[in-house]
C-alpha cells in the first residue's frame, strides 16, 4: 500500500469504529447525532471538498457530486446513520478499487521490470565504471557480470554465458550466447562474464521500446472504453435530472390532485436513486479489464500497443502470414550450386560480394557459406532492385544476383531449377553463370500454430511470400495453410491484403504477421499488424500493433485467446453493472429499495466488477 492508501485505511477504521459504537451502544440523541456527524466528516470530508471544487469549476456531474448530494440530503432528513453508512461504504469501495488497481499495476511493473539501472564501462585503467545507460554511445564496450541485466543491444565480442529472457519473452528457457552473437537489452546474464559492443543507443534499444509500448498502451483506448466515457458524460447528468424530477413531480402531482404532497418521502427516494445511479463500476472496471489484459499478455511475451488493438484482435477471423522469418526460421543455408559456367567457389564469391550490403537472411547465408572476409574496396555501384535481387560492379565486371524476375528484367537466358528452396541466379557481364540453391527451415511450432489458430476460431489462414511458387506451395502444404500467394513484391502483398479486406464481413478483422522491413506497409494496412519482435526489424515493430517478443508463431493463438477473455470480461461487467443498476433504480423510484440497497448497487457492484476485471491478468493457462 502507498501512503495515500494507508491514510484512507486509517480513516475507514476510525469511522467504522465510531459507527459501530453508535449503533451498538444506546446513546442519547444529543450525543449520538454529533458522533454521527464526526464519523461522517471523518470519512467524507474529501468527497465534499471535491464536489464543491467541481461545482466551482463548472464540472458538476460526477460521482463526488452524487455522493455529496445524497448524503447531505439524508442528513437533512435526519437519516444520520444511512448518510454515514453510504459515505463509509463508498470510501471502502474506492479504497478497494485503488488497492486492486495498484496491485495489478505493481504486478505488471514487476513483469516488465527490465530497465537496467546502469551499464558497466571500462575506463582507461581497465576499471569498471557504472554509468547511466543513456550516456553510452554506439560502439562502446560494456561489461555484463553474472546476475546483471544487459543494458543495451549489442554483439558479444568476448565471453560466453546463459541469458534469462523470461522478462522479454515470457519463456523460462534460457538462451546460450557466445562471441559474435547478438544480444538484446533486458535479458539477465546468468553465468559467465560478457563483453558486448553496443549497436544502438539506449533510447533505441529493445528494452526502451518495450517499456515505451507498455507505458503508452493505455493512451489508445478501445471502442468499449470510449463508449463508457461518453456514456458516463451523458448518464450522470441524466440521472441527476431524473432524481430531481422524482423529487418534484409526484408531490406536485399529488398537490394538483388535492392529495398530501409528502415531499420527505420523495426526497428520500430521489437521494436513494442518486446513490444507486453512481457509474463507478463501469467507469473503473472497463479500463481496468483492458489494463489487466494487456498486463497478462505482456507476461506471456505478447506486447499489445493499446486496448483498441486487443479489442480488434478478439474479432480476428483471418490471419495472413509472411513466410521467411515468420513461419520459417529465416536461417538459410546453401544447399547446392548448379549449372555453374565458372568455378563454383568463384560463383559463390561473386554472389556473396554482391549481396554483402544487404541484411536479408539470404544474403547472410551466402556470406556464411563463402566464409571469408569481404573486401568492400572490390565492390562498386551496388543497387538493390526491390523484389528482384542485387546489381553490383565487382572487380570491374557487372554482377547480377537474384531471382528469375531479375534475369528476365535483363533478358538473360537462365537455367530453371526444380529444387525446393530459394534460387539465387548469378549473371556476369550479361551472361548466365549458374545458380545457388538456398533452403530454409520451418519454425519448430509453426505447424502447431496453424492448428491452434483454427481451434481459436480463425476461419482462414493465408501466406504471402516473394518466394517462387514451388517453395511457397511446399511450405503451405506442410503447415496446412488454407491459401498461399507466391512471387509477390512488397506492393503486391499490400494489394492482396486490400483484396481480403474488401471481401471480409465488417465485424471480422484481418491480422497480418510479418518480420521484415518490406512487411511494414502490410502491417500498417491490416486491421491488426503482428510483428516478430526478437529478430524482427525495427520498421516492422514500429508499424505493428502487437509484438511477439520470442518470434514464436504459437503465441498468436495465445494473444487471440487473451483478447477474447478480456472482451468477455468487459461485456460481463457492462451487462452486470447496468442490469443491477436498472433494477435497483426502478426499485428505488417506487420506494422498495432503501439506502442499504443503494449501497450494494453502488459499492457492491463496483467491488464485484473490479474483482472480475482482475481475472484478465490470469492468462497463463489459456
List, by residue number, the catalytic residues. Answer: 322
CA-CA distance, 528 to 510, in Å (whole number)?
6
CA-to-CA distance for 602 and 316, rounded, in angstroms? 35
Map grid coordinates 500497443 to a residue.
305
- d(C-alpha 65, C-alpha 236), whole Å: 10
Ramachandran region, residue 338 (left: φ > 0; alpha: ψ -120 to 50; beta: rest):
beta
Q: Per residue, what are the HEC states of 559-587? A: HHHHHHHHHHHHHHHHHHHHHHHHHHHHH
Q: Which helix H or strand E contains 392, and what residues bound it?
A: strand 389-394
DSSP 328: B
Alpha carbon distance 497, 432 (integer Å)? 36
Distance, in Å, from the CA atom of 248 to the CA atom of 484, rounded to the nearest integer, reads: 69
What torsion, rounded to 10 degrees, do the Cα atoms 360, 366, 369, 374 define?
-100
Q: d(Cα 303, Cα 294) in Å, to the nearest integer? A: 7
3-state secondary structure 131-149: ECHHHCCCCCEEEECCCCE
What single string gives the DSSP state of each residue in 475-506?
A: HHHHHT-SEEE-S--HHHHHHHHHHHHHHS-T
Sign of CA dihedral 423, 426, 432, 433: negative
Among candidate residues 109, 153, 42, 101, the one with its CA nearest the CA of residue 288: 101
3-state SS track over 41-89: HHHHHHHHHHHHHHHHCCCCCCHHHHHHHHHHHHHHCCCHHHHHHHHHH
Give just the sign of the alpha carbon dihedral 427, 432, 434, 437: positive
- Burial pattern 120-158, b for ≥16 Cβ within 10 A else e, equals bbeeeeeeeeeeebeebeeebebbbeeebbbbbbbebee
**Residue of 534, 549, 554, 533 lying closest to 444 (CA atoms):** 554
Q: Which three cell numbers stand for residue 379?
A: 565492390
Q: Cell digits for 449?
A: 500454430
For 246, the grid coordinates are 422524482
Handedness of CA 130, 136, 141, 143 (dihedral sign): positive
**DSSP labels for 189-223?**
E-SS-EEEEE-S-GGGSHHHHHHHHHHHGGGS--H
Backbone angles phi, psi at 375, to 5 degrees: -90, 100
Amino acid at each position: 500500500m502507498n501512503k495515500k492508501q494507508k491514510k484512507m485505511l486509517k480513516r475507514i477504521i476510525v469511522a467504522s469504529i465510531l459507527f459501530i459504537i453508535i449503533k451498538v451502544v444506546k446513546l442519547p440523541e444529543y450525543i449520538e447525532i454529533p458522533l454521527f456527524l464526526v464519523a461522517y466528516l471523518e470519512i467524507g470530508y474529501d468527497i465534499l471538498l471535491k464536489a464543491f471544487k467541481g461545482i466551482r469549476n463548472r464540472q458538476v456531474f460526477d460521482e463526488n457530486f452524487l455522493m455529496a448530494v445524497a448524503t447531505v440530503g439524508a442528513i437533512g432528513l435526519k437519516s444520520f446513520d444511512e448518510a454515514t453508512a453510504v459515505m463509509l461504504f463508498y470510501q471502502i469501495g474506492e479504497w478497494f478499487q485503488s488497492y486492486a488497481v495498484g496491485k495489478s499495476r505493481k504486478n505488471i511493473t514487476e513483469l516488465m521490470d527490465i530497465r537496467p539501472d546502469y551499464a558497466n564501462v571500462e575506463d582507461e585503467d581497465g576499471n569498471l565504471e557504472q554509468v547511466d545507460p543513456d550516456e553510452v554511445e554506439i560502439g562502446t564496450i560494456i561489461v555484463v557480470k553474472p546476475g546483471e541485466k544487459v543494458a543495451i543491444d549489442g554483439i558479444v565480442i568476448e565471453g560466453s554465458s546463459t541469458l534469462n529472457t523470461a522478462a522479454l519473452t515470457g519463456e523460462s528457457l534460457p538462451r546460450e550466447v557466445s562471441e559474435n552473437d547478438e544480444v538484446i537489452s533486458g535479458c539477465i546474464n546468468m553465468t559467465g562474464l560478457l563483453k558486448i559492443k553496443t549497436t544502438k543507443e539506449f533510447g533505441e534499444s529493445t528494452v526502451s521500446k518495450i517499456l515505451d509500448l507498455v507505458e503508452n498502451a493505455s493512451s489508445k483506448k478501445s471502442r468499449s472504453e470510449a463508449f463508457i466515457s461518453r456514456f458516463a458524460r451523458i448518464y450522470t447528468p441524466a440521472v441527476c435530472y431524473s432524481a430531481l424530477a422524482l423529487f418534484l413531480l409526484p408531490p406536485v402531482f399529488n398537490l394538483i390532485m388535492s392529495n398530501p404532497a409528502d415531499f420527505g418521502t420523495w426526497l428520500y427516494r430521489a437521494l436513494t436513486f442518486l446513490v444507486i445511479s453512481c457509474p463507478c463500476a463501469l467507469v473503473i472496471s472497463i479500463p481496468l479489464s483492458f489494463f489487466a489484459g494487456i498486463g497478462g499478455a505482456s507476461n506471456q511475451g505478447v506486447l499489445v500497443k493499446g486496448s483498441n488493438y486487443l479489442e480488434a484482435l478478439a474479432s480476428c477471423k483471418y490471419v495472413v502470414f509472411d513466410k521467411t522469418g515468420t513461419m520459417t526460421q529465416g536461417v538459410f543455408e546453401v544447399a547446392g550450386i548448379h549449372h555453374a559456367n565458372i568455378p563454383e567457389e568463384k560463383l559463390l564469391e561473386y554472389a556473396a560480394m554482391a549481396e554483402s550490403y544487404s541484411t536479408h537472411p539470404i544474403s547472410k547465408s551466402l556470406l556464411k557459406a563463402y566464409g571469408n572476409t569481404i573486401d568492400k574496396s572490390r565492390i562498386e555501384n551496388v543497387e538493390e532492385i526491390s523484389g528482384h535481387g542485387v546489381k553490383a560492379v565487382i572487380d570491374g565486371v557487372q554482377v547480377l544476383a537474384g531471382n528469375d524476375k531479375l534475369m528476365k528484367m535483363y533478358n538473360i537466358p537462365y537455367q530453371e531449377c526444380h529444387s525446393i528452396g530459394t534460387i539465387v541466379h548469378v549473371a556476369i557481364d550479361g551472361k548466365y553463370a549458374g545458380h545457388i540453391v538456398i533452403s530454409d527451415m520451418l519454425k519448430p511450432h509453426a505447424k502447431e500454430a496453424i492448428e491452434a489458430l483454427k481451434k481459436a476460431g480463425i476461419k482462414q489462414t493465408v501466406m504471402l511470400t516473394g518466394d517462387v511458387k514451388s517453395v511457397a506451395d511446399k511450405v503451405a502444404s506442410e503447415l496446412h495453410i488454407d491459401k498461399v500467394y507466391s512471387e509477390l513484391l512488397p506492393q503486391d502483398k499490400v494489394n492482396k491484403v486490400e483484396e481480403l479486406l474488401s471481401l471480409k464481413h465488417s465485424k471480422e478483422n484481418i491480422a497480418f504477421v510479418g518480420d521484415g522491413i518490406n512487411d511494414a506497409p502490410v502491417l500498417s494496412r491490416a486491421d491488426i499488424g503482428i510483428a516478430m519482435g526478437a529478430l524482427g526489424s525495427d520498421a516492422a515493430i514500429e508499424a505493428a500493433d502487437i509484438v511477439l517478443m520470442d518470434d514464436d508463431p504459437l503465441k498468436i493463438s495465445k494473444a487471440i485467446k487473451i483478447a477474447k477473455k478480456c472482451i468477455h470480461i468487459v461485456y460481463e461487467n457492462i451487462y452486470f453493472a447496468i442490469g443491477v443498476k436498472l433494477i435497483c433504480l426502478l426499485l428505488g423510484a417506487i420506494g422498495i429499495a432503501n439506502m442499504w440497497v443503494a449501497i450494494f448497487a453502488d459499492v457492491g457492484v463496483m467491488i464485484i466488477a473490479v474483482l472480475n476485471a482482475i481475472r484478465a491478468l490470469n492468462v497463463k493457462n489459456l
